[in-house]
Amino acid sequence: AGKPVGLVCISPALAAKIYGPGVIATLGSAEDPAAAALSAMGGSHEECTVEDIIEDKAHKLVSTPAYMLAQSIAEAAAGINKLVDRVLELAHPH
């Protein structure tokens, strides 16, 4: 439907099943087995720090690793807050 979506923590592992091959998402570290699973399903994994986001502009998809990397709720919140802000920007362009 072209609506923006935010995927957090382990959920980006399903991005290729949702959007199809070529989708870009993050689970944090490329060393994580879930990143390999995303790639095996045709997705493209990009490494990302816990406080940041990865955006697939073509699919209006924003993802962040959250507890795939976070050691505390504050660390997870940094990336999640950034993700929510970006999804809202995509939903309500100025």
- Residues assigned a catalytic role: 9
The token pair that represents 82 in the structure block: 């950034």
Q: What are phi and psi of 42, to 5 degrees?
A: 105, 0
The one-letter amino acid code at 44 reads S
**What gap in Å lies between CA 69 and CA 79, rounded to an integer?**
11
Contacts of residue 53, defined as CB under 8 A and 6 or more positions apart, other chains included, come to 26, 62, 63, 64, 79, 82, 83, 86
